[in-house]
Structure 1
Amino acid sequence: MLKELLGDELYSQVTEKLGDKKIMVDDGNFIPKSRFDQVNQAKKDLEVQLKDRDTQLADLSKNNKDNESLLNQIKDLQALNKQTTTDYESKINQMKFDHALEGALNNAKCKNSKALRALLDIDNVKLNEGKLEGLEEQLNKLKESDSYLFDLETTPANTGGLGNFGRSGAEVNMFDFNFQSLK
């Protein structure tokens, strides 16, 4: 897919520059493979922990049906397990939301996502099937009221300072400057 977007020549330059580093594409947004691996590994670890708990609880309930206090303890552990599962799911959903929001802010060309997040009403932004609902309207309002937070692709006028152009608009070549005259 990346090869189709960049063309053969540019794609070969990019892959040569990346070397053995890999990137993954998720609905048009680039995410580092290391970040994907980190989140994926955390998810796998949590799933293994949950399976181990369920197995332990099932074994305890089979082997100790006569002991009423043990059965009560198992019920308490099952309730705790259910709460822990809910907590993990909410953390995973929050990570998905944060990642989608950060990607959307980068696509909107914000200069400072932390400052922009402070101005957003996050409670009115919902992640639904990978799409953030309620964000675009807020971003459009902020682009009008606080445009300094966004890179709006405006070219600066000639300021007349040092650089490629002098005050008269003539091109100045810094390499032609005679530093010997400063002595």
Structure 2
Amino acid sequence: MNKEALIALGLTPEQADKVIEGYGTTIPKSRFDEVNNAKKQLETDIASRDKQLEELKKVDAAGLQAQIEKLQGENATAKQEYESKLKDTQLSSAIKLALTGKVHDADIAISQIDKTTIELDTEGKVTKGLDEQLKTLQESKPFLFVPEKKEQKYKGWDPASSNLDKDNPQDIGSNFAKEANSKGAPAEKALNPWGQ
């Protein structure tokens, strides 16, 4: 409270001066609570930090260093395993792509191939090592491979080129057409539909 507030309460100016001299100005309760809560929080924080410091005193620095080194080793091993699995996956995918249409089951064929001798280019295509192994595998286990389709030529008469006269190429359809057109002509001029 200040002097004006004391006078408003009914004190004389002299009395208000004496109260202020004896007690000074008062602090609002909200400000007091704010400062008091901050003090309590600081005391709690200091106690918590003191406890943490005591726990840190108990920690063995050499033990921590050993644990850090162990974790670094585990991380390095995990990274190598990840890179190995990634390389194996890329290699398997490239081999499957190269075997597409050549084998019945790519997974079985891949299990029979030594992946360590196969090399890939920067685009992930097989460049070396697969053809030799496939040749050997095809000789030892031909049942894994899809037989190559050979062009089949049927033996016998080829209707499109049935006429043996190369100078006058005609097919049977042409001969029948000529036969139909020559109806009514004398028998000696009638054409044989078989080209004879």
TM-score range, shorter chain: 0.3 to 0.5
Structure with bigger strand share is 1
* TM-score where L is the length of structure 1: 0.41
Q: Which has the larger radius of gyration?
A: 2
